[in-house]
């Protein structure tokens, strides 16, 4: 399956990145020579995505100016200037700009490096893994030892059949959610109009036995505070040295 559309969640305030985010939105903070959001956008282009909806709020004008100059995607702006919608509400609003077919969902401030050059990319593999008959959502996952900047907490446990359960309920095979999903927009047809957290739909899918995960290849990074920038830069330099 080739996924042609995506939703990128990019509207957060980036409060833990202050004072940097007092003047710039977090997705535009440069790590390893390019803005964080461009790692997500570049991955989507490589995977065959043609159109992406991206939500904006914090320094929205800066975000729009940057996105106008990004080449390779037809970008639609989901405007949250008037009210932040949280992860779930922002996704539900942005999906209304896209077609009724499977969609990638990406976080603008989480990314990975070091994918094997002789293998399909993580997003291409996730697209091949997704099965609408069995799955509400397919999540890209990572082992905690393959992360930089993470808070040390596991999110889910990955079953032998690929099903995900909450780590707190089953710590048998711990994984971290790596910030990429495939789902069908219809899954959020019953979403409320007000802001809500996407974890609500993770839990609904778990209850139905329809939340699945696939392990990513490479190394995953999150940059949550100014102090984390140096660690991320050093990790990127190390991977580029051995590429």
- List the chain domain ranges: 5-241
Mean pLDDT of 140-161: 95
Choose which CATH entry (3.40.50.300, 3.90.550.10, 2.40.50.140, 3.40.50.10790) describes domain 5-241.
3.90.550.10
Mean pLDDT of 181-195: 96
Mean pLDDT of 168-187: 95
Distance CA 51, CA 45 (A): 9
- Sign for the CA dihedral angle at 158, 164, 169, 175 comes to positive
Cβ atoms < 10 Å from Cβ of 40: 28
Mean pLDDT of 29-52: 97
Quickly state the pLDDT bin for 242 (edges 50, 70, 90). Answer: low
pTM value is: 0.94
pLDDT at residue 243 is higher than 70: no
Quickly state the pLDDT bin for 240 (edges 50, 70, 90). Answer: confident
């Amino acid at each position: 399956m080739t996924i042609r559309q995506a939703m990128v969640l990019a509207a957060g305030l980036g409060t833990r990145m202050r004072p940097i985010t007092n003047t710039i939105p977090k997705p535009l903070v440069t790590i390893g020579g390019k803005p964080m959001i461009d790692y997500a956008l570049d991955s989507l282009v490589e995977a065959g995505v043609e159109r992406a909806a991206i939500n904006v709020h914090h320094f929205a004008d800066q975000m729009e100016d940057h996105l106008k100059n990004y080449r390779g995607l037809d970008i639609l702006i989901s405007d949250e200037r008037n009210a932040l919608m949280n992860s779930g509400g922002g996704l539900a609003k942005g999906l209304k700009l896209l077609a009724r077919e499977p969609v990638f969902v990406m976080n603008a401030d989480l990314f990975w490096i070091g994918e094997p050059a002789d293998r399909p990319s993580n997003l291409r593999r996730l697209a091949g893994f997704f099965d609408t008959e069995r799955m509400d959502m397919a999540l890209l996952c990572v082992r905690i030892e393959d992360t930089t900047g993470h808070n040390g907490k596991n999110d889910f446990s990955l079953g032998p059949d690929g099903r995900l359960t909450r780590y707190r309920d089953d710590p048998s095979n711990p994984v971290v959610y790596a910030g990429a999903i495939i789902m069908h927009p219809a899954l959020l047809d019953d979403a409320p109009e007000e802001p809500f957290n996407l974890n609500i739909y993770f839990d609904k899918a778990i209850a139905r036995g329809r939340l699945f995960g696939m392990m990513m290849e490479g190394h995953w990074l999150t940059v949550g505070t100014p102090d984390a920038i140096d660690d991320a830069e050093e990790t990127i330099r190390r991977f580029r040295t051995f590429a």
